[in-house]
Structure 1
Amino acid sequence: MSESFEEKMGKINALLKSLNDKDLSLEESVKLYKQGVALLKEAKEILENAKLEVAEINAPEQA
């Protein structure tokens, strides 16, 4: 089962906290950054799909 928007945002927030760790190596920072970018893309896609769904609901009926 795929993760919800809220779950993805929770993971993004956790990654941001980890990236603020001063003891994190450059290699680990880049790895976490890549994970964050991927999660953001997935979250954006979920959000865009939700916007389309709402637009369809609010669209006037085609007669």
Structure 2
Amino acid sequence: MAKENFEKKLQNAKTILEKLMNPEITLQESVKAYEQGMKELSDAQKMLEEAQLKIQEIKANS
């Protein structure tokens, strides 16, 4: 499975947020969706941090 990109992770989190806003969602479904959303955001945050480190390395080597 190919590693998803940053933008896809954010889109997934947005889709999950929309699902959580549905008043008909059950508690169990909302907990599962919340957990998935937090994982997507965590993964996106890690990607962002990696990109920042790479930029710092480039600047340091220039």
TM-score by length of 2: 0.93
1:50 is matched with: 51
2:18 matched to 1:17? yes
RMSD over equivalenced CA pairs, Å: 1.0
The structure whose residues are more often helix, as a share, is: 2
How many residues get paired?
61
2:31 counterpart SS class: helix
SS in 2 for 1:46: helix
Displacement of 1:60 in angstroms is 4.8
The residue type paired with residue 39 of structure 1 is E
TM-aligned CA deviation for residue 22 of structure 1:
0.2
Unaligned runs of 5+ in 2: none
Q: Which runs of 5+ in 1 are unaligned?
A: none
TM value normalised by structure 1: 0.92
CA distance in 2, matches of 1:60, 1:7: 30
SS of residue paired to 1:59: helix
After TM superposition, the runs of 4+ consecutive aligned structure 1 residues lying more than 6 A away are none
